[in-house]
Amino acid sequence: MKYIFTFSFLSFFAFAQDFDAGIVKTNEATFAVNSFSSGYNIPWGMTFLPNGEMLVSDLSGKLFRVFNNGKQKKEILGVPKVLFKRQGGLLDVEIHPDYKKNHLVYIAYSHQIGKKSFTRIARGALKEDRLVDFKIIFTADEKDYTSRAIHFGSRIIFYDNHIYFAIGDSFERDEAQDLNTPNGKIHRLTYDGDIPNDNPFTNSDGSKSSIWTYGNRNPQGLAVTKDGIIWETEHGPRGGDELNIIRKGINYGWPKITYGINYIGTKITDYTEMEGMEQPIWHWTPSIAVCGMAIYEHSLFDKWNGNILVTSLKDEYLERIIVKNGKYVARESIYNPGSRVRDVEVGPQGKIYVALEDPGRIVVLTPAD
Q: Which residues are catalytic?
A: 151
HSE value, Cβ hemisphere, 13 Å, CA-based, for 266: 2
Q: Which amino acid is at 345?
A: E
What does DSSP assign to residue 80? P
| In contact, 309 and 352? CB cutoff 8 Å | yes
Mention every residue, 6+ apart, whose C-beta is less than 8 A from residue 205: none
Instruction: Say what the alpha-carbon torsion angle 113, 116, 118, 122 is, to the nearest 10 degrees.
Output: 20
- How many CB atoms are located within 10 Å of the residue 197 CB? 9
Q: Which amino acid is at 150?
A: I
Q: How many angstroms separate the CA atoms of 108 and 86, rounded?
A: 16
Angle at 23 between CA 18 and CA 24, to 5 degrees: 125
Mention every residue, 6+ apart, whose C-beta is less than 8 A from residue 298: 305, 346, 349, 350
